[in-house]
A and B are shown apart, each in its own frame.
Chain A
Amino acid sequence: AQSVTQPDIHITVSEGASLELRCNYSYGATPYLFWYVQSPGQGLQLLLKYFSGDTLVQGIKGFEAEFKRSQSSFNLRKPSVHWSDAAEYFCARKAAGNKLTFGGGTRVLVKP
């Protein structure tokens, strides 16, 4: 079955430092990939998506992600994190039947 893996359960980063969250997807045709963010007590907000074309995708809040087919990865990055970026981040892919299959999530803690 098509799956999504986020190897890091928790990441702690200092405010102002760079952030990279890893996401790997299993086999399949060109995947439709997404990153969502869930702030404490909030719903899921779409950060960015990749369908095709340019492999470097820009999103909201200063985030970007790079699709690398050779590594089956779609890692999320931000050059300089803010305290408000503390949240849980989910990578997801479209699966058969139009549903989203999510990774387990990565919780980001931001140190002052």
Chain B
Amino acid sequence: DSGVTQTPKHLITATGQRVTLRCSPRSGDLSVYWYQQSLDQGLQFLIQYYNGEERAKGNILERFSAQQFPDLHSELNLSSLELGDSALYFCASSVAEVFADTQYFGPGTRLTVL
């Protein structure tokens, strides 16, 4: 157990819908990262937050957004869902945003878009 929690574990929804994925970092960690794992794209970085502020963006679609709240939990919002958004979404956290920091991953949320 990494100490990073993600809810829900599974999510099944329809095209065009909107969902919210939630992540709670390890106690004391200030940075949160979101990754997407799909069969065709592999593991890809989406976005990073540090202490409530967006710090880095990767291959995140405009239909996707995220935020980190004052209690440091983070939410990833996915809207106008398409079949291709079906994937495993991971959250990771690290102590700070020092390059040498290690990222610890949660169990993931499996999103299925029908």
Contacts and interface: CB of A to CB of B under 8 A. Distances in A.
Question: Do A and B assemble together?
Answer: yes
Interface of A: 32, 34, 36, 42-46, 49, 51, 90, 92, 94, 97-102, 104-105
Query: What's the dominant secondary structure at chain A's contact region?
Result: strand
Contacts of B106: 43
Contacts of B108: 43
Query: What's the dominant secondary structure at chain B's contact region?
Result: strand
Contacts of A34: 102
Contacts, number: 57
A102 B108 CA distance: 16
Contacts of A101: 45
B51 interface: no
Contacts of B33: 98-100
Contacts of B101: 98
A67 B74 CA distance: 34
Contact of A98 (B4, B42, B43, B99): B99
